[in-house]
Amino acid sequence: MGQPAQERAIALSPEDRKVLVSLSGGDRRGGEPLRAAIVLTAASGLSYAETARRLATTRPTVATWLRRYAEEGVPGLRDRVRPGRRPRVRDADVVLRTLTTIPSTGGAWSSRALGVALGLSNGTVARIWRRWGLRPTEPAAFRLPGLPDLALAGAELVGLHCGLRDRLLVLAAGPTGSVCGVGTAGPTETVSGVGIAGPGTVIAALTGACPAARDGLSAPGHAPARPGASGPPSLADFLAVADGRPDRRLHVLAAGEETVRRQTVRDWAAQHGHEVRVAPAEPTWTELAAVAAGLTAPITGRPTPDLGGRLVAALRTAWRTAWFSGQPCHWLAAPPANR
């Protein structure tokens, strides 16, 4: 007999495995090192009981942290914010606030001024800027870590794919002279995958449609990624629709090396001359995709201080849906009108 359903094997992305190995390097008697070691050990195919025995812990502890990982990914293994502490401000919030707003005094943000606005120390802000290669006085020069050849100033978000094993961010360079900031283009449509057809935003599509997929419901206007396709949209479907801009070179950021090595992805990139790169371990793919969406997607209205956190949460919702349902969650911008 095989393992019970609740003890099914865990599939780790290369990105997650790299972060988990790093986290597990400390004292494994408790805290984040033990939690990371639990996931890594269980991912090798061992039962909960054997994982607990090897790590000198209990089976309920193993079950708790494997469930937390399944629901939230690596961030779920981190220490929770305790009552009385300030809510965590994510890297994505700092980066988006730097690039999409200006201080009341005008000009560019200083680390001290932005720290005061976000409740952070100026040292924390400065470290985040360094980690992202961000110079607040030169917003138009900002490059997303992992995609050094693409300036985000005026770039267009083409699509996001969150599957069990594959996560992709697809961007297209914008026209010369565009400025960096939250997109203000007209509303878009979700044209493939689990999404909301008609006007909406990336956040609405990812957070509103994915629960419908998890509950086995069809979103209004849901259509397959290509005419005649049946069943849940695949990675190949997503790439086929994303390529609906024949005159534009696409820049793709994948969450792991495994995705880049897939024959489907390699053939697609070679045939159309698109660039496909692997996201660095830090910042994570989720944070990178959240920042890219915040800067390039048609999210109308004034940027909010927690825009980065909301986008990160939407992407995690999409990934959790894919993990539990086995079906990918897509968001794709409406293709350009024929000229």
Q: What pLDDT, on the 0 to 100 scale, is given for residue 169?
A: 92
DSSP secondary structure of 81-103:
PPTTSPPPPPHHHHHHHHHH---
- Spatial CA neighbour of 199 closest among 95, 90, 298, 305: 298
- Spatial CA neighbour of 97 closest among 326, 329, 306: 306
Q: Are strands 329-332 and 275-278 parallel, antiparallel or unpaired?
A: unpaired
Report how many helices (DSSP H) and strands (DSSP E) the chain contains, helices first.
13, 5
Q: Identify the sign of the CA torsion 276, 280, 284, 287.
A: negative
Q: What pLDDT, on the 0 to 100 scale, is given for residue 314?
A: 79
Distance of CA 216 to the CA centre of its chain: 23
Q: What pLDDT, on the 0 to 100 scale, is given for residue 129?
A: 95
Q: What pLDDT, on the 0 to 100 scale, is given for residue 179?
A: 40
For the chain, 339 residues long, the average pLDDT of each consecutive 10-residue run is 51 83 76 89 91 92 90 77 58 89 86 87 91 90 90 83 86 60 32 27 50 30 32 74 79 91 92 91 89 74 68 79 74 64
Q: What pLDDT, on the 0 to 100 scale, is given for residue 185?
A: 30
Please check whether residue 37 is in contact with residue 46, taking contact to mean a CB–CB distance below 8 angstroms: no
Task: Give residue limits of the domains in the chain.
Answer: 5-77, 91-139, 140-332
Please check whether residue 207 is in contact with residue 314, taking contact to mean a CB–CB distance below 8 angstroms: yes
Query: Rounded to 5 degrees, what are φ and ψ at 146?
Result: 105, -25
- Angstrom distance (rounded) from CA 275 to CA 270: 9
- Spatial CA neighbour of 238 closest among 287, 174, 311, 166: 166
